[in-house]
Amino acid sequence: MNTWLDISKDSDFSIFNLPFGIFSKKKSKPSVGCRIGEWVIDLELARKLGLLEIPRNIFNQNSLNPFIGLGRKRCNEVRLQIQEWLSVENSPLKRHFYALFHKIDELNLHMPVKVGDYTDFYSSIEHATNAGKIFRPDNPLYPNWKHIPIAYHGRASSIVVSGTDIHRPMGQFKPADSASPIYGYTKELDFELEIGAIIGRNSQQGEQIKVADAENYVFGFVLFNDWSARDIQRWETLPLGPFLGKNFASSISPWVVMIDALEDFRVNGPIQDPTPLPYLQVDGARNFDIKLAVRLNESTICKTNFKYMYWNIAQQVAHHTVNGCNLKIGDILASGTISGSEANSYGSLLELNWAGKNTISLNDGQTRTYLENGDRVSMHGFCEKDGKRVGFGEVFGKIV
């Protein structure tokens, strides 16, 4: 499928993608846009021009939540309609080009969804095993890990859009050479490379979402950086898990890639042994072949893939609701750190530096164990197959 727009072949935002987000022009209110190449299509204006039959007060909002509330089928119909118009010469988008299309570098991008709740999973067996080897070399995986998708509830209010500065957090931690804990700025600031699933449908409290139906509750995906203060986290984690070491900030990419745009990139996940309990058993290809990379300043320090995840999104949704916990539109379920089996595929500094024992060499001759003030971390992800490319752009943040 070709488009009359001049789009780079290696653009994440091809005609096969068309993700949704929230943008604003100077001195204007935020509204819903659709990304194609280096352009953003103003969907509220398209509605006003009579091109899209969408109710009022859906696109003129500061989050995608009302649009998502129309249902994934209707949202995808909008995406497919735009795709068709971008591929035909006699297009209403072309006739109204100068009104509808805005250059990306002239816009402000905002949080794409209003996040009510956020859950962070721990679904990469490589990451879980690495973390276990670092802290519990004789027993890397806890006995329950291969039976349930482990997760904790995070802080929704501190999730920020890509480009937001990240303030180095303070807290209490206990250095190895100290008999008592101390208070101060974290010395072990880290990132975690993740994918975040945006929930696109409400469930009722007391309702169990079946694993076969679970993906119908997923609208799409974003890149997700779960910033982590490892020294604070290490001191506080037992017995109730992460708290201040995690809840100070998480960053997400501004464009939500619909799950429908990823259908051609489905792959089978790892063999699960032992076989999960019946409520977690899935059929078919439930993982996605998404190539991922992390850059620290100007150096690529990690390349991995979302396809390696042991627990997939359908299993995460099913397990999340098996006790009757309800999901709401805009909730985020983050995958947990995505790591591969090779040392350069580890999705966190904790693994890359093996808890501070190794240093990471950067292109400019500097080295790192953990993040320093002024460091810029960016994450990128895309799928590519048979001439089709669907990407996420980037999520980045600078440490201040």
pLDDT for res 248: 98
Look at residue 27 and tell me whether its pLDDT is greater than 90: no
Averaged pLDDT for residues 290-317:
98
pLDDT for res 57: 96
Cβ distance 347 to 124 under 8 Å?
A: yes
Q: Check: pTM over 0.85? Answer yes or no.
A: yes
Model confidence at 138, in pLDDT bands (50, 70, 90)? confident
- Any catalytic annotation for residue 127? yes
pLDDT tens digits for range 11-26:
999 999 999 999 999 8
Given this chain, do its domains 20-110 and 118-398 carry the same CATH topology? no
pLDDT, greater one: 238 or 250: 250
pLDDT for res 116: 97
**Mean confidence (pLDDT) of the chain:** 97
Averaged pLDDT for residues 17-36:
96
pLDDT for res 102: 98
Model confidence at 202, in pLDDT bands (50, 70, 90)? very high
Cβ distance 291 to 391 under 8 Å?
A: no
Look at residue 31 and tell me whether its pLDDT is greater than 90: yes
Q: Cα(249)–Cα(37) distance, rounded to whole angstroms? A: 29
Q: What percent of the chain lies above the pLDDT cut of 70?
A: 100
Cβ distance 41 to 94 under 8 Å?
A: no
Look at residue 372 and tell me whether its pLDDT is greater than 90: yes
Q: Which of 96, 102, 110, 127 is catalytic?
A: 127
Cβ distance 292 to 253 under 8 Å?
A: no
Averaged pLDDT for residues 218-233:
98
20-110 belongs to which homologous superfamily?
A: Fumarylacetoacetase, N-terminal domain (2.30.30.230)
Q: Does domain 118-398 have CATH number 3.60.40.10?
A: no
pLDDT tens digits for range 41-80:
999 999 999 999 999 999 999 999 999 999 999 999 999 9
Q: Cα(302)–Cα(39) distance, rounded to whole angstroms? A: 29
Averaged pLDDT for residues 104-127:
98
Averaged pLDDT for residues 136-158:
95
pLDDT for res 367: 98
| Exposed e or buried b per residue across 72-108, where buried means at least 16 C-beta atoms within 10 angstroms of its C-beta | beebbebbebbbebbeeeebebeebeeebbbebeebe
Look at residue 139 and tell me whether its pLDDT is greater than 90: no
pLDDT tens digits for range 243-279:
999 999 999 999 999 999 999 999 999 999 999 999 9
pLDDT for res 369: 98
Nearest to 389 by CA among 9, 19, 88: 9
Averaged pLDDT for residues 148-171:
98
Nearest to 276 by CA among 315, 317, 308: 315
| Tokens 């999340």 belong to residue | 320
Domain ranges of the chain: 20-110, 118-398
Q: Cα(325)–Cα(204) distance, rounded to whole angstroms? A: 8
